[in-house]
Amino acid sequence: RAKDLGRANFQFFSSELNARLQERMALEAALRCALRSDGIRVEYQPIVDLCTGRAVGVEALARWTDRHLGVVTPDRFIRVAEECGLISDLGRRILQLACRDLSHWLAAGRTAMQISVNVSVRQFREADLIEQVSAALELAQLPPELLCLEITESVMLQDTQANETTLRRLKELGVSLAMDDFGTGYSSLSYLKRLPFDKVKIDRSFVRDLAVDPGDAALVRSIISMAHDLGIAVVAEGVETVEQCRFLKRHGCDLIQGYLFSKPLPADAIETLDAEGRCLTCPLESEAAP
C-alpha cells in the first residue's frame, strides 16, 4: 500500500543519504589531512603548438591518492574542497607547486614555457585570489606572463560586474587568461568580446566526434574563426587521434592538448620533453614540423 511504500522509500532514501553523507565526511577529513601532509600532487600535461609540434606550455592537474580511499579524481575533490571551505588552501597549494616546478625547469635550462593553472568557481570568487596569485609568482620569482589561469566558462554564468573586475585585476598583474571548457555552459560569445581572455579552450566533448559529427565539426570551425577575429588563441583539449589533429590544424587551431601528444606527467617526467619542448615519442613530429 501507498503508505507502507512511502515509509519504505523514506527509509531507503534516508539510509542512502546517510551513506553519502558519511562518505562525504570521510572525504573531507582525508582532504584536510592531505593538505596538511603534502598529500596533494600535481601532474603536467603538455600543450602543443600545432605549427611547430612543440610543447609551449603545460597544464597543472591536481592529483590525490589517499591511503584508504585510493585515487580520488580532481572533479570530485575540488567539489568537496569548494563545499567545505578548503578551496582557498588547496588552490594556493597548487599554484605554489606549479610555479615552483616551472621555475625549476627554467633554471635547468628549458626554454620558456607557460604554466596553466585551473581556478575553480569558488576560488575565482575568493577575496584573496589576486594576492594568492601575486604571492605565488613572487615566491617562485616567475615573470607573470608565464602563468596562465584557466577559468571555467561556468563562472561566467553569473554575468556580474565583479567577474569583470576580477579578470581585469588579474590582467593588470600580467598573467594570461584562458576560458576553459568552452562550449559547455551557456557560452555567450559576447563574453569573449568584452572580457580580457587571451585563449579559449574548446571542451573535449566537441573534439571527440570532430571527424564523424558534422555538427561538432561546424561548431569547432566557427569557434576557431570567431576567436581569431577577436584576437584570441584557441586550444583544443582531449585530442586523441591523428584525424582530430589534422582537422584542427587544417582549420587554424593554434594549440592542442590531449593523449595523442601526451598524458599528464609527473613533474620529473617533463624531462621526456627535450629542452625545446619536443616530445620524444610524439606521433605528430613529422607532420607538424614547420
**Interface with Mg ion by CB under 5 A: which residues?**
118, 150, 180-181, 201, 237
CB closer to ligand C2E, 217 vs 229: 217
Query: Using CB distances below 5 to 8 A depending on partner kind, what does residue 75 bind out of Mg ion, ligand C2E, none?
Result: ligand C2E
- Determine which residue in the list 39, 144, 196, 264 makes contact with ligand C2E, applying CB under 6 A: 264
CB of 162 to ligand C2E, least distance (A): 19
Query: Using CB distances below 5 to 8 A depending on partner kind, what does residue 73 bind out of Mg ion, ligand C2E, none?
Result: ligand C2E
- Determine which residue in the list 53, 183, 258, 277 makes contact with ligand C2E, applying CB under 6 A: 258
Residue 217 CB: number of other CB atoms within 10 A? Answer: 16
Sign (positive/negative) of CA torsion 123, 126, 132, 133? positive
- By the rule CB under 6 A, 148 interacts with ligand C2E: no
- By the rule CB under 6 A, 101 interacts with ligand C2E: no
The size of the chain, in residues, is: 290
Rg (CA), the chain: 21
- The span from the CA of 37 to the CA of 158, in Å, is 35
- The span from the CA of 206 to the CA of 222, in Å, is 12
3-state secondary structure of 196: coil
- By the rule CB under 6 A, 262 interacts with ligand C2E: no
Who's near 260: CB < 8 A, 6+ residues apart? Answer: 239, 240, 241, 242, 244, 245, 283, 284
CB closer to ligand C2E, 126 vs 240: 240
- Residue 4: half-sphere exposure toward Cβ, Cα within 13 Å: 1
- Specify whether the CB–CB gap between 287 and 260 falls below 8 A: no
- The span from the CA of 290 to the CA of 286, in Å, is 9
Taking Cα atoms as reference points, which of 173, 180, 179, 79 lies closest to residue 131? Answer: 173
- Determine which residue in the list 46, 183, 238, 277 makes contact with ligand C2E, applying CB under 6 A: 238
- By the rule CB under 6 A, 234 interacts with ligand C2E: no
CB of 1 to ligand C2E, least distance (A): 46
Query: Using CB distances below 5 to 8 A depending on partner kind, what does residue 234 bind out of Mg ion, ligand C2E, none?
Result: none
- By the rule CB under 6 A, 185 interacts with ligand C2E: no
CB closer to ligand C2E, 48 vs 62: 62
- Residue 175: half-sphere exposure toward Cβ, Cα within 13 Å: 30
- Determine which residue in the list 31, 50, 78, 179 makes contact with ligand C2E, applying CB under 6 A: 78
Strand partners, 178: 150, 199
Q: Contact positions toward ligand C2E, by CB under 6 A? A: 45, 60-62, 73-75, 78, 94, 118-120, 123, 150, 180-181, 204, 237-240, 257-259, 264
